[in-house]
Every structure is written in C-alpha cells, then in structure tokens.
C-alpha cells in the first residue's frame, strides 16, 4: 500500500450467483484514491459502476457476493470484516450519496431528527451539539436559511434541496471518502451546476476524497481529477481526465466520447457505437467489447492484459491511434 | 412566415386547480367570485411550428414545458387559448376531420419503461392503434408491422416479444414505432432520450433525424438537455415558469442569447472540453409555480433586475429576424 492512498481497491470481483448462471458484475477492478482527489467512475447502465461503489461499503446482498479481491481503507482490508466493524466505518469514514434522495431520507421524520440519528449512530452527542453540527454542514452544502430547513419534512423540500440534505447527512461525520452514485442525474442542469460547484469546494476545503459515479462524461470532464471507464464489469481505461478524454486508448471510451452531441457537427448524424443485445451471462471471451468494436484483431479473443503508458492504463491491444 | 404553420398555439394557458370544497361550491352557487389558488403551468403562450421544422422546448423541471407539449399534442385541453392544426381549431372541424387531425399529432414519452404496457406483446402495442382506426386491414397487418419495425431499426422477430425482453433503447424504438404506426405528421417528443445511456441516446437521435427526412416529419422536441436540443433543433424556445421567455433560431440563440435566463442556463452546461470547470451558479431556486413572482417571473434571480421588473410583465417581442425575447432591458 502506497502511503498517500486513502483507499485501494485491488482485484475486486463481485459476482451474482443466479439460477441462470453467474453474472460477473464487477470483475478484477483495481483503482486507488488519494485524499482530496475526485475520481470519476463512468459507464453505461449495467457496467458495474454502482456495484463497485456498493462493494466498497460492503452493501452487497445475496445472490451477490464479493468473490475475491481487497478493499483497503487506510491499509485495512474491509472485505470480510464482521458487520459491526464495517458499520462503524460505513457512514463515518466512508459515506454514500444515492441517486434518489427520497430513498435516503425518511419521509415521516423531520430533517433535524434524521441528522441527529446519523450522528448518534457513531458517537454520543447531545441535542445542542448535534444541532450545531447539522447547521454547519447544511451551510457547507449551500442551503439558505438552514435553521428553517431543520424543522422541515422531506416532502416540503424541492428535489435539489433534498439532494443537498442527503449530501449534508453524508458529510455529518466528516468522512474521508464520499461515494456519490448518479447524485445529480435526476436534477436540472441549474441545480446540478450548483451541487457540482459545492462538491468541488467541499473536497478542496475538507480534504474529503470523492468517487463520482455517473454515465455522463461531460460531468466527469468538469469535475474529476482522474477517471475510470467501466464496461461489462471491468475498468477498460483509467487515467487523468485530460489523458483519457483527449487521448482515449480504448475504442469504447472513444465511442462514448464520439456519441456526445457536442462532439458532432450540428444536425449531422451522431457517431454511434454498434448496438447489440448484450447479456451479462454470455460475454465474449477476451475483450468484452470486441463484438461492438470497429478495430478487432485476432488477439482480441485472448485475455487482455492491462497496459500502461505514463500512468494511463488501458485494456486494449489495438488502441486508437492517439491524435498528434 | 406567410405559410400556414402546421401546428400553432395561440395564447395557450393551463391552470390546474384543486377540487372545490363544499363551502367553495356553495359560495359559487351563490354567485361569489372564485378564489381557488392553483398551479398556472402554462400562461399565455403562443408558438407556431412550420412544416418540416424541429422546434426545441427547453426549461427546468416544473417550468411547464411538458404541459405545453401535451396541450399541443391534444392530450390535454388548454384552460384558455387555441391549438390550430393547419390553421384550423378543433371547433372548425367536423367529427371525421377532428379524428384525422388527432392522429396526425403523436406523442413520444420520456420513460420507455412506463409508457409500454408490460403484458402486451410488441406486435399488439404497435398494431392496436392503426387497426382500431381502420388504417390497415387485418390481412396486411403483419407486413405493415414488419415494415414499421424495420423503419425504426428493429428486426421483425421482435413482434412476439414483451417489453421486458428489450433494452431501454429498443423500448424507445417501440415507442417511436407506435407513434409512426398511425402515419403522423407531427411528433411531440417529451424528454424522449433523457432516460437513455449516451450510446443509445446517439442511436435514437440519429433515428429521429433519419425519420424526419424519410417521412417529412415535424418535431416538437422537449428536453432539459441543451446539448441535445442544439444538435437536433432548427429553432429553440426557452420556457420559464409557464412562459416562453425567448425564442430564436438555434445557432443564434446559443450564440447571442438575449434573455438573462437563457444566458444563465447556457452558462450551466457541462461540456466535454471544460476541465475542472467553475460553474456560474444562478442564485436561488426556481420559485414555486403556486405563487410565481410578480412582473417578470425571473426577476428574483436575475443579476440585472430593475425596479420595473417587479411590477411589469415584459412582453415577448421581436428583437431581430425571428428572434423574440421578453426582457425590459431591450427597451433601453
């Protein structure tokens, strides 16, 4: 373990054992995170990005299981820890924000009660201290008039406000790592911009590291320091945002970038990735992308090693020629 | 614009009012004026769509763009104002014309998981409407359905499947095929690509553009995604709290936005080229449509608000060829 890393995910495999067969939702995923760093985890639905986030927190339910691999938080492996021990870490050291804040917030409890309980789950706090800390984080996420909001019920708040409360609750215990799973996908561009700028300030101010899970490449471009691109349970490419988005070394990443409307001339057909009905039960051997890839060569059906060039990692033996 | 627009809305308004309480009903019977407070989802909107055009409707959630789309497609009737199809309102038409006109404007919905009945096979989902309306005979039904499916890029073998056997992109294609089955002229697409991954989104957008050429379709394209709207639209209308605040040809609107709200909205777009972006944040949140601000709806959040903006509602008027904006700043 490198000393500067706060989190290391190493060879993580989360498989779902179903009656129809085994789904390798997360297959040999490795990445690391430094304090204060923002890591974007990008992929389409079904690529395993959410399961990766849930695996870090030990939130995988049967038939899913972490088959092998390690998740090291400050050098300590979290995989296989007894539930009471992981509970002490979950929410305190590593917190998560979900897509739908209504799933996170209890609809029949006032915001102040929910925040007090989130604090009380990890330490003894009296009511006044809890209130003071709640007000502090509500201000941190940019909520105007936080005193009033503490007395509200979730249904009285707008979607953007609810998501901010969910982020505030995640920040209550000053976590070292925050995992946000499609946290702004359901929100308007204006609210999204507000929350993204709060997140940037938050990470810079508190040193909290952030894993931002999304399918939206342009959000990652504006927010993250590094990016991992996932396809069919594997990280097919990872590196600095500038390297990956400007000089993609995997045809999937290149295809994703090409299909963003702003990368195409207005009114002209968009570049698109070949469509096939995918099933996670029968992925192609070797590179899982090879039945949609425009540049397949003979070696693509063999297992693909992780190649590296100046810290930019990719799983492609015939990478797109980087633009000069 | 001398040509009669294919679809036109004149002074459209839609208010959703809560049901009357007993006391209110009695008061109304006794001749008291009504004081029911409701949501004015759309207020006094006029727009025209020319044949073959793609009109984009953009706005935040709750701004009334979907309600406007539903009124234009005839799913909802307006509280006041008129919808004209080829210059005629539904009152001008006889029953047969009305029925034909209703089929010519079709809607495609946002969520392909919710808009398809999960217990009906694809063939019936698409085939029901044209059969009921007598557009096809039973004998030619199979050929017709195969042709429609191929048109939206699906294999005819999908006819016997159920929606749950299809991916998100494929379901949205079924939604499009269902709309095309009654031979429409105008498609109202309400956030039709919002629920899809980037790669399926590109495919569906390409399909929309191909169909436009093949079938000379006209689109009203409702979306919150400014990048998508820029790509497909000829003209764009920006909607804020039930009013159109600016409407212009796409390139002009994105290049020289006039209304402060349009400018703010364009400043929020996340782009692939912008790294470690500093977002310019619009202050405050969208006010509740239950109690919209007086005067210009945008004035509490506007960086350039003047005293006049609080009291006087600006008029949507022409500031350049085909470019309309409603802002008091244009009077100076």
Give pLDDT tens digits for A295-313: 888 889 888 889 988 889 9
- Pick B202's closest partner by Cβ from A45, A219, A259: A259
Q: What pLDDT shows up at residue A62?
A: 86
- Pick B285's closest partner by Cβ from A160, A193, A259: A160
Tell me: pLDDT of A278 over 90: no
DSSP letter at B160 equals G
Contact between A190 and A213 under an 8 Å Cβ cutoff? The reply is: no
Q: What pLDDT shows up at residue B198?
A: 82
Contact A261 B285 (CB under 8 A): no
Q: Which residues of B touch A257 (CB under 8 A)?
A: 272
* Banded model confidence at residue B145, pLDDT cuts 50, 70, 90: very high
CA terminus-to-terminus distance, chain B: 28
Gap between the Cα atoms of B45 and B255, Å rounded: 24
Q: What pLDDT shows up at residue A271?
A: 86
Tell me: pLDDT of B281 over 80: no
Mean pLDDT of A121-150: 87
Q: What is the pLDDT of residues A136-189, one digit of tens each?
A: 888 878 787 888 889 999 988 877 788 889 989 998 888 999 999 988 877 777
For helices A159-171 and A189-206, give the axis angle rounded to 10 degrees.
10
Contact B272 A267 (CB under 8 A): no
Best of B155, B199, B234 to disrupt the A interface (most A CBs within 10 Å) is B199
Q: Which residues of A touch B284 (CB under 8 A)?
A: 144
Mean pLDDT of B137-141: 87
Mean pLDDT of A230-248: 92
Gap between the Cα atoms of B302 and B191, Å rounded: 27
Tell me: pLDDT of A262 over 70: yes
Contact B271 A191 (CB under 8 A): no
Mean pLDDT of A5-32: 91
More confident: A144 or B180: B180
Cite the DSSP H helix spans in B160-222. 168-180, 198-215
Gap between the Cα atoms of B293 and B286, Å rounded: 10
Q: What is the pLDDT of residues B37-85, one digit of tens each?
A: 778 889 899 999 999 999 999 988 778 888 999 999 988 889 999 999 9
**Bridge partners of residue A181, in order along the sequence:** A213
Q: What is the mean pLDDT of chain B?
A: 87
% pLDDT > 90, chain B: 41
Gap between the Cα atoms of A259 and B47, Å rounded: 31
**Bridge partners of residue A211, in order along the sequence:** A39, A179
Contact A161 B198 (CB under 8 A): no
Best of A44, A145, A193 to disrupt the B interface (most B CBs within 10 Å) is A193
Q: What pLDDT shows up at residue A324?
A: 42
Residue A279, exposed/middle/buried by CB under 10 A (0-12, 13-18, 19+)? exposed
More confident: A263 or A182: A182
The distance of A5 to chain B (nearest Cα, Å) reads: 22
Phi, psi of A152 (to 5 degrees): -90, 160
Contact B202 A221 (CB under 8 A): no
Gap between the Cα atoms of A271 and A107, Å rounded: 44
Instruction: Count residue pairs from A and B with Cβ separation < 8 A.
Output: 133
Q: What pLDDT shows up at residue B94?
A: 87
The distance of B198 to chain A (nearest Cα, Å) reads: 7
Tell me: pLDDT of B172 over 70: yes
Contact B281 A260 (CB under 8 A): no
* Banded model confidence at residue B233, pLDDT cuts 50, 70, 90: very high
Residue A48, exposed/middle/buried by CB under 10 A (0-12, 13-18, 19+)? buried
Q: What pLDDT shows up at residue A222?
A: 87
Gap between the Cα atoms of A102 and B191, Å rounded: 22
Q: What pLDDT shows up at residue A3?
A: 58
**Regarding beta strands A177-181 and A64-73, do their DSSP bridges make them parallel or antiparallel, or are they unpaired?**
unpaired
Please report where in the chains the tokens 């449509």 appear, as a residue. Answer: B289
The distance of B280 to chain A (nearest Cα, Å) reads: 8
Q: What pLDDT shows up at residue B120?
A: 92
Q: Does B61 touch chain A (CB under 8 A)?
A: yes
Q: Which residues of B touch A266 (CB under 8 A)?
A: 230-231, 250-251
Contact between B227 and B269 under an 8 Å Cβ cutoff? The reply is: yes
């Amino acid at each position: 373990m490198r000393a500067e890393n706060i989190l290391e995910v190493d060879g993580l495999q989360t498989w779902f054992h179903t009656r129809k067969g085994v789904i390798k939702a997360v297959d040999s995923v490795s990445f690391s995170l430094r304090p204060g760093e923002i890591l974007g985890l990008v992929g389409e639905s079904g690529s395993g990005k959410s399961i990766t986030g849930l695996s870090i927190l030990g939130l995988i339910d049967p038939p899913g299981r972490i088959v092998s691999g390690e998740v090291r938080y400050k050098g300590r492996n979290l995989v296989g820890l007894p539930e009471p021990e992981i509970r002490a870490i979950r929410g305190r050291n590593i917190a998560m924000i979900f897509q739908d804040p209504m799933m996170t917030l209890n609809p029949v409890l006032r915001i102040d009660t929910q925040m007090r309980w989130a604090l009380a789950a990890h330490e003894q706090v009296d009511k006044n201290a809890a209130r003071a800390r709640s007000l502090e984080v509500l201000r941190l996420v940019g909520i105007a008039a936080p005193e009033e909001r503490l007395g509200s019920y979730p249904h009285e708040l707008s979607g953007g406000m609810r998501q901010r409360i969910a982020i505030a609750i995640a920040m209550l215990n000053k976590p070292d790592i925050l995992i946000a799973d499609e946290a702004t996908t359901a929100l308007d561009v204006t609210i999204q911009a507000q929350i993204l700028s709060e997140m940037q300030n938050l990470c810079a101010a508190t040193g909290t590291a952030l894993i931002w899970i999304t399918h939206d490449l342009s959000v990652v471009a504006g927010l993250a320091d590094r990016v991992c691109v996932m396809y069919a349970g594997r990280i097919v490419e990872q590196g600095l945002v500038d390297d990956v988005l400007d000089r993609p070394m995997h045809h999937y990443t290149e295809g994703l970038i090409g299909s963003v409307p702003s990368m195409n001339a207005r009114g002209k057909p968009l570049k698109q990735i070949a469509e096939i009905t995918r099933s996670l039960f029968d992925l192609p051997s070797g590179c899982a992308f090879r039945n949609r890839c425009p540049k397949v060569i003979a070696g693509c059906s063999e297992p693909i090693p992780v190649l590296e060039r100046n810290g930019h990692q990719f799983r492609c033996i015939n990478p797109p020629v980087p633009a000069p | 614009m001398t040509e009669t627009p294919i679809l036109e809305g004149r002074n459209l308004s839609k208010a959703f009012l809560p049901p009357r309480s007993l006391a209110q009903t009695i008061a109304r019977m006794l001749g008291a004026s009504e004081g029911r407070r409701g949501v004015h989802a759309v207020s006094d909107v006029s727009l025209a769509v020319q044949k073959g055009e793609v009109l984009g409707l953009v706005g935040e959630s709750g701004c009334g763009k979907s309600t406007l789309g539903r009124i234009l497609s005839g799913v909802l009737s307006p509280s006041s104002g008129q919808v004209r199809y080829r210059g005629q309102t539904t009152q001008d038409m006889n029953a047969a014309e009305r029925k034909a006109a209703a089929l010519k404007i079709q809607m495609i919905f946002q969520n392909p998981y919710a808009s398809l009945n999960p217990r009906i096979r694809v063939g019936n989902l698409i085939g029901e409407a044209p059969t009921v309306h007598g557009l096809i005979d039973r004998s030619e039904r199979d050929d017709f359905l195969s042709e429609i499916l191929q048109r939206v890029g699906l294999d005819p073998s999908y006819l016997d499947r159920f929606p749950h056997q299809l991916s998100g992109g494929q379901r949205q294609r079924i939604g499009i095929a269902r709309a095309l089955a009654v031979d429409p002229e105008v498609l109202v697409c309400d956030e039709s690509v919002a629920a899809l991954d980037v790669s399926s989104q590109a495919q569906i957008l390409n399909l929309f553009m191909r169909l436009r050429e093949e079938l000379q379709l006209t689109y009203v394209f409702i979306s919150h995604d400014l990048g998508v709207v820029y790509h497909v639209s000829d003209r764009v209308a920006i909607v804020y709290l039930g009013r159109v605040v600016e409407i212009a040809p796409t390139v002009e609107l994105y290049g020289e936005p006039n209304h402060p709200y349009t400018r703010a909205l364009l400043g929020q777009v996340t782009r692939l080229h912008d790294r470690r972006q500093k977002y310019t944040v619009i202050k405050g949140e969208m006010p509740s449509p239950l109690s919209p601000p007086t005067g210009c709806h945008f004035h509490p959040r506007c960086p350039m608000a003047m005293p006049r903006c609080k009291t006087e509602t600006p008029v949507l008027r022409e500031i350049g060829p085909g470019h309309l904006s409603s802002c008091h700043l244009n009077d100076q």
